[in-house]
């Protein structure tokens, strides 16, 4: 049962977020903040206690807090984010988790890892090997969490920023997976809800205790998730998408 969410405010410099390609229209900072605010409201409406780390004007990508740490039953692993410009984002996350986790582990170069590359399905953690996360990072995840009973499975990621850019686990055995990105057989015994190329952005959604928060504007994916038995809450993510972010990257759930 998820009871808490750690989030971080949108930086004053968010319009300079790291992006693979400039968005067609510039980021609207005020709108990004109101979308982030709505995201927090939805988490609270779902009963979560939301802990808020203030934004840092020197860290444009700091709202994408998921990339900074993995957390499982009080055991935290602070990552070494793959984009060098994001390294300092972990400091504030480490300070907070130091207070609530019973143990905090770290990752040092050459290991790199973004939390967006880590997909948890029951007792397995799939780690995407991407432009941000490398084999040494995956090995550190295994070293940290295998003793807690989690299997760590590496998955090459091509054509997407992170593993979770193309798939999300909803619970109850359902995995949302964008088209032809990764072979479904990689994920073992799960039921795949396929997402078309046109709705690829909707493959990142956020499951919280049986409710799934989806990006608004992707009706086919939303219908499939509803048909699988989940409540769906759509959220406008336009300005988060422009910064190459999506739903899961805005929080660490525990």
Residues making contact with ligand CIR (CB under 6 A)? 17-19, 61, 64, 66-67, 83, 86, 114-116, 162, 243-246, 249
Q: Which of 68, 162, 167, 214 is catalytic?
A: 162
Nearer to ligand CIR, 114 or 199 (CB): 114
Q: Is 249 a catalytic residue?
A: yes
Dihedral (C-alpha) 132, 137, 139, 140: value to the nearest 10 degrees?
-150
CB of 201 to ligand CIR, least distance (A): 11
Nearer to ligand CIR, 114 or 154 (CB): 114
Nearer to ligand CIR, 27 or 147 (CB): 27
Nearer to ligand CIR, 50 or 99 (CB): 50
Cα 67 from Cα 78, distance rounded (Å)? 9
CB of 82 to ligand CIR, least distance (A): 8
What is the three-class DSSP state of 192?
strand
Structure tokens at 96: 């907070």
Check: CB of residue 82 under 8 Å from CB of residue 131.
yes
Q: For residue 127, which phi and psi values (nearest 5 degrees)?
A: -115, 115
211 - beta bridge partners? 208, 231
Structure tokens at 106: 């770290």
CB of 115 to ligand CIR, least distance (A): 6
Residue nearest to ligand CIR (CB): 116
What is the three-class DSSP state of 147?
helix
Half-sphere exposure of 241 toward its Cβ, with a 13 Å CA cutoff? 17
Nearer to ligand CIR, 113 or 170 (CB): 113
CB of 121 to ligand CIR, least distance (A): 17
Q: Which of 62, 63, 118, 249 is catalytic?
A: 249
Q: For the stretch 153-177, what's the b/e string if a residue is b when 16 or more beta carbons lie within 10 angstroms of its beta carbon?
A: bbbebeebbbbbbbbbbbbeebbbb
Cα 249 from Cα 254, distance rounded (Å)? 14
CB of 246 to ligand CIR, least distance (A): 5
The catalytic site residues sit at 162, 249
């Amino acid at each position: 049962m998820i009871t808490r969410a750690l989030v971080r405010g949108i930086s004053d410099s968010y319009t300079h977020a790291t992006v693979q390609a400039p968005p067609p229209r510039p980021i609207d900072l005020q709108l990004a903040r109101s979308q982030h605010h709505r995201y927090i409201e939805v988490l609270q409406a779902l009963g979560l206690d939301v802990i808020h780390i203030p934004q840092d004007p020197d860290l444009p990508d700091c709202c994408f807090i998921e990339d900074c740490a993995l957390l499982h039953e009080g055991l935290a692993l602070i990552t070494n984010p793959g984009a060098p410009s994001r390294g300092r984002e972990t400091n504030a996350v480490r300070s907070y988790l130091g207070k609530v986790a019973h143990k905090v582990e770290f990752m040092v170069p050459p290991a790199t890892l973004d939390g967006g590359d880590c997909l948890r399905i029951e007792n397995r953690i799939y780690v995407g090997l991407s432009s941000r996360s490398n084999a040494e990072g995956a090995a550190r995840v295994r070293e940290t969490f295998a003793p807690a009973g989690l299997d760590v499975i590496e998955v090459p990621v091509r054509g997407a920023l992170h593993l979770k850019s193309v798939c999300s686990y909803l619970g109850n055995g359902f995995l949302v997976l964008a088209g032809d990105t990764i072979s479904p057989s990689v994920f073992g015994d799960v039921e795949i809800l396929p997402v078309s190329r046109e709705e690829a952005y909707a493959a990142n959604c956020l499951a919280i205790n049986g409710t799934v928060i989806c990006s608004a504007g992707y009706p086919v994916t939303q219908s499939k998730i509803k048909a699988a038995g989940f409540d769906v809450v759509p959220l406008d993510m336009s300005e988060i998408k422009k910064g190459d972010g999506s739903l899961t990257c805005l929080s660490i759930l525990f």
